[in-house]
Every structure is written in structure tokens, then in C-alpha cells.
């Protein structure tokens, strides 16, 4: 076993980017209770960072504590163990994660961490699975995990696992992070959630249909989210990502987004990030492949 990775050595880090849902429609429900969706995923250049220290004894350890998440429930640990089980790999890993993405924010932080774990350890362990095989392992971990494994902006259907890569504009976003977590389950089990939206096409989305069916429920039940949405009204109105709590507004350039960020009230927290059609984890993978 090698020494623990240094948190200061960014060159060894694997990024786990956030995503935004640029639209989210609930169009039905399966017999097993899962909701059928139409959504558009785009990454942003705000990332968690992960380090992996290989072990010869097969153990998977999480080196940093995560508030409210036991080690065995952590998606990075579960992802690593799922890859071990699927491939019979006898190696293990110590995993350290520097969290920059809020939990319960709709930015996909946990799912992204899990996907980066699968992509990184598949390379570092030499297990040799292709993207389809990794995505099959990813789906039981969460409906959003496959899009992070594939690493391309996508039109998503089904429970979010049927993905069609799309080329989108890559604008700048002002993302506000209200001081609350919105449990996905609470939103999807809410009696007033719209569950029968009409199907749209990708062309409809590109033409301006960016509705999020979760927004009315979240706005009413989470006043912190409502306040953040109202804060963004000066810039064309805020939009909810996923089931929230994070909200965002769209800007044509970085300077405009930064200017808006400087105008938000002092009690509001947020950041500026650029939309990405290609996940930075794919660039990190290319680097790892090139250096052996």
C-alpha cells in the first residue's frame, strides 16, 4: 500500500463535476414507483475532487468523514465495491473526497463522485470495462450516475438512464445554493407533484421549453429556495436544477455572470460556473491513459 494521497497535489486529483438539469418533466410512473422523466443534463466546471490510493489487500476505505453519511452508505465506497464485485478485482483503494458541491442541492454531487470512482478505478485497477459496462454498474447506484460515467451533455429519458448526447450552447451560470437540503424522495412522493406532463422533443427544449415540474412543490415547501428564485428574478428568473435546492440563471458570458453575482444579497451564497458538454473526468482519464 502506498502513502495517503496529498490533498495539496491537485495533479493527482480526479474531478467529479456538478450537473444542471436544464429542464425536468415528469411524464409518468412505472409499476415499481420510479418516475419517468424527460430531462437535459449539462455539466458545469464546479467539481468535487477525489484521490485514490491503491491497496493490495482488497479493502475499500473512505478516508474523510461526510456529515450524515456512514462509510458503507457512501456512494464512492459503494461504487468501488460494485466494480470489485463485477470484475473480481482483488485490489482495493483508499478514497479521499474534497467536497465542493452541496448535498441535497440537485447538482448531482454524490452521483458524480460515484461515477468518477468507477471511471478512475476501472483505469487504475486495470479492470478494462468499456463505457457501457461501467454504465450498467452505475445505474443501480442512482439514476444520475450513468450520465456522469458517459461524460457528455445529454437528453435523458426513462428514469434518466436513456441518454442521447447533445451539443448545447455552453453559457455561464450563476448558481445559488440555499441553506437547505431538498430530499429527492420527498419531492417525488409529494402528492401535488405533476406526474403526467405531455412528452416533448429535444427540439421543443431547444425552442425554449425549460419547465421543471418539481419547481412548484419545492418553491412552496422550501422558503429558502423560494427566496433564491426571487433573487434571480432580475436576470430573467431563476430555474431549479433537479429537485433542488440549487437554482440558477443563465448568462451569455463570464463577466455578466460575475456582475450579477456581485449584486446578490450578502446572505445569499452562490458561485459562477460555465456549462460544459464534455465532463472534465474524461480529460483526466485521457491523461491517466497517456501516462500509463
The pLDDT tens digits of the residues spanning 134-150 come to 999 999 999 999 999 99
Note if 19 is an active site residue.
yes
**Any binding-site annotation on 92?**
no
What is the rounded CA–CA span in Å between residue 87 and residue 126?
10
Closest CA to 121 of 78, 163, 162: 78
279 among annotated binding-site residues: no
Flag whether 108 is marked binding.
yes
Q: Which domains does the chain have, with CATH numbers?
A: 10-166 (3.30.230.10), 172-276 (3.30.70.890)
112 is an annotated ligand-binding site residue: yes
Q: What is the pLDDT of residues 158-195, one digit of tens each?
A: 988 899 999 999 999 999 999 999 999 999 999 999 99
E strand or H helix at 86: helix 75-87
Mean pLDDT of the chain: 94
Q: Of these residues, 19, 53, 74, 113, which one is catalytic? A: 19
Question: How many CA within 13 A on the CB side of residue 215?
Answer: 21
Residue 11 has pLDDT above 70, yes or no: no
Residue 33 banded pLDDT, cuts 50, 70, 90: confident
Q: What percentage of the chain has pLDDT greater than the value 90?
A: 89
Q: What is the mean pLDDT of residues 28-51?
A: 95
Q: What is the mean pLDDT of residues 85-109?
A: 96
- Was 107 annotated as part of a binding site? yes
More confident residue, 68 or 271: 271
Catalytic residue, chosen from 53, 74, 144, 213, is 144
Q: Residues 196-210: pLDDT tens digits?
A: 999 999 999 999 999
The answer to the question of whether 24 is labelled as a binding residue is no
106 labelled ligand-binding: yes
User: What per-residue confidence (pLDDT) applies to 181?
Assistant: 92
Side-chain half-sphere CA neighbours of 120 within 13 A: 29
What are the φ/ψ torsions at residue 18 (nearest 5 degrees)?
-75, 165
Residues 6+ apart with CB under 8 A from 277: 42, 43, 152, 153, 166, 167, 168, 170
Q: How far apart are the first and last CA of the chain?
A: 19
Residue 144 designated active-site? yes
For residue 256, what are the CA distances in angstroms to 174, 207, 241, 242, 276? 9, 23, 21, 24, 18
Taking alpha carbons only, the member of 179, 169, 172 closest to residue 40 is 169
User: What is the reported pLDDT for 160?
Assistant: 84
Q: What is the pTM of this model?
A: 0.94
At 35 the three-state DSSP class reads: strand
Q: Which of 3-12, 127-136, 147-156, 199-208 has the lowest mean pLDDT?
A: 3-12
Asked if residue 240 has pLDDT above 90, the reply is yes
Asked which of 67-71, 80-84, 168-172, 278-282 is least confident by mean pLDDT, the reply is 67-71
What mean pLDDT is predicted for residues 218-237?
96
**Of the candidates 265, 266, 263, 225, which has an alpha carbon nearest to the alpha carbon of residue 247?**
225
Average pLDDT over residues 122-128: 97
Q: Is the pLDDT of residue 10 over 70?
A: no
The CA R_g of the chain, rounded to the nearest whole Å, is 19
Amino acid at each position: 500500500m502506498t502513502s495517503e494521497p496529498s490533498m495539496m497535489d491537485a495533479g493527482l486529483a480526479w474531478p467529479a463535476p456538478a450537473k444542471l438539469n436544464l429542464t425536468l418533466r415528469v411524464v409518468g410512473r412505472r409499476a415499481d414507483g420510479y418516475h419517468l422523466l424527460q430531462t437535459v443534463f449539462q455539466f458545469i466546471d464546479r467539481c468535487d475532487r477525489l484521490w485514490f490510493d491503491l491497496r493490495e489487500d482488497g479493502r475499500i476505505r473512505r478516508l474523510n468523514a461526510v456529515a450524515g453519511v456512514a462509510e458503507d452508505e457512501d456512494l464512492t465506497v459503494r461504487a468501488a465495491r460494485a466494480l470489485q464485485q463485477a470484475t473480481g478485482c482483488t485490489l482495493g483503494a483508499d478514497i479521499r473526497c474534497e467536497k465542493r458541491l452541496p448535498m441535497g442541492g440537485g447538482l448531482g454531487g454524490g452521483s458524480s463522485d460515484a461515477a468518477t470512482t468507477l471511471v478512475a478505478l476501472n483505469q487504475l485497477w486495470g479492470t478494462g470495462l468499456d463505457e457501457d459496462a461501467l454504465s450498467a454498474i452505475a445505474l443501480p447506484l442512482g439514476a444520475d450516475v450513468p450520465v456522469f460515467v458517459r461524460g457528455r451533455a445529454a437528453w435523458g429519458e426513462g428514469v434518466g438512464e436513456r441518454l442521447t448526447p447533445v451539443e448545447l450552447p455552453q453559457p455561464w451560470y450563476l448558481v445559488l445554493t440555499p441553506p437547505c437540503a431538498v430530499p429527492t424522495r420527498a419531492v417525488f412522493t409529494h402528492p401535488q407533484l405533476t406526474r403526467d406532463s405531455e412528452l416533448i422533443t429535444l427540439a421543443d427544449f431547444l425552442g425554449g421549453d425549460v419547465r421543471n415540474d418539481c419547481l412548484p412543490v419545492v418553491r412552496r415547501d422550501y422558503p429558502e429556495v423560494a427566496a433564491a428564485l426571487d433573487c434571480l428574478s432580475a436576470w430573467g428568473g431563476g430555474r431549479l436544477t433537479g429537485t433542488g435546492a440549487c437554482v440558477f440563471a443563465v448568462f451569455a458570458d463570464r463577466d455578466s455572470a460575475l456582475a450579477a453575482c456581485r449584486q446578490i444579497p450578502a446572505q445569499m451564497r452562490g458561485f459562477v460556473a460555465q456549462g460544459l458538454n464534455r465532463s472534465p473526468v474524461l480529460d483526466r482519464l485521457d491523461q491517466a491513459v497517456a501516462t500509463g
